[in-house]
């Protein structure tokens, strides 16, 4: 079975949804081929990015308390699914266009899924700037590609 997933690598609900799908596939024994498709949550995001907490508060008109509660909830969900979210008050949301370009290229090389997982972990777990070319190259290597 082929499953197409449209997502952004800075979308916490995208990795949550994927991990839930992964668990369901394991439980049922269904064999699926996952293909990731680009969706930029913030295509107009400035190169240097923005503070995540402030961005979410402005975009969704939420309070600091509501934002903190949402992040706490995501961290609990992540633990249950085997994914570690490490949110911090100084975390930044970044432009993901270059990451999507690399993911598209990796699809042709057969390493797209590995790269997508590496990018989710780099951003949400390790706090890396996935708009940085060197970080993207590091993640490509982690996904099994030659840095060159």
Q: Is 121 among the domain residues?
A: yes
Does 44 map to a domain? yes
Query: Is 66 domain-assigned?
Result: yes
Q: Residue 6 sits in a domain of what CATH number?
A: 3.40.30.10
The predicted-structure confidence for 72-125, as pLDDT tens digits, reads as follows 999 999 999 999 999 998 999 999 999 999 999 988 888 999 999 999 999 999
pLDDT at site 56? 86
Element (H, E) at 2: strand 2-7
Q: Is 75 exposed, middle or buried (0-12, 13-18, 19+ CB in 10 A)?
A: middle
Q: Does 90 reside within a domain?
A: yes
User: Rounded CA gap, 62 and 53, in Å?
Assistant: 10
The answer to the question of residue 18 being in a domain is yes
Is the pLDDT assigned to residue 37 strictly greater than 90? yes
Given a cut of 90, is residue 64 above it in pLDDT?
no
* 30 found inside a domain: yes
**Can you give the pTM of this predicted structure?**
0.93
Say if 147 falls within a structural domain. Answer: no
Q: Can you give the residue range of the structural domain that contains 86?
A: 2-142
Compute the distance between CA of residue 76 and CA of residue 83 in angstroms, rounded to an integer: 10
* Neighbouring C-beta atoms of residue 114, cutoff 10 Å: 16
Structural contact between residues 135 and 128, judged by C-beta atoms closer than 8 angstroms: yes
Is-contact 112 73, C-beta < 8 A?
no
């Amino acid at each position: 079975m082929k499953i197409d997933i449209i997502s952004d690598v800075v979308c916490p609900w995208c990795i949550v949804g994927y991990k839930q799908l992964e668990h369901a596939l394991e439980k049922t024994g269904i064999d699926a081929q996952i293909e990731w498709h680009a969706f930029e949550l913030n295509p107009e995001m400035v190169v240097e990015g923005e503070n995540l907490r402030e961005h979410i508060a402005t975009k969704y008109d939420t309070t600091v308390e509501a934002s903190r509660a949402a992040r706490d909830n995501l961290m609990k969900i992540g633990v249950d699914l085997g994914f570690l979210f490490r949110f911090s008050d100084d975390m930044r949301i970044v432009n993901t266009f270059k990451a999507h370009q690399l993911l598209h290229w990796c699809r042709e090389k057969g390493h797209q899924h590995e790269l997508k997982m590496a990018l989710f972990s780099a951003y949400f777990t390790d706090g890396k700037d996935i708009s940085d070319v060197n970080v993207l190259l590091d993640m490509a290597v982690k996904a099994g590609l030659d840095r060159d």
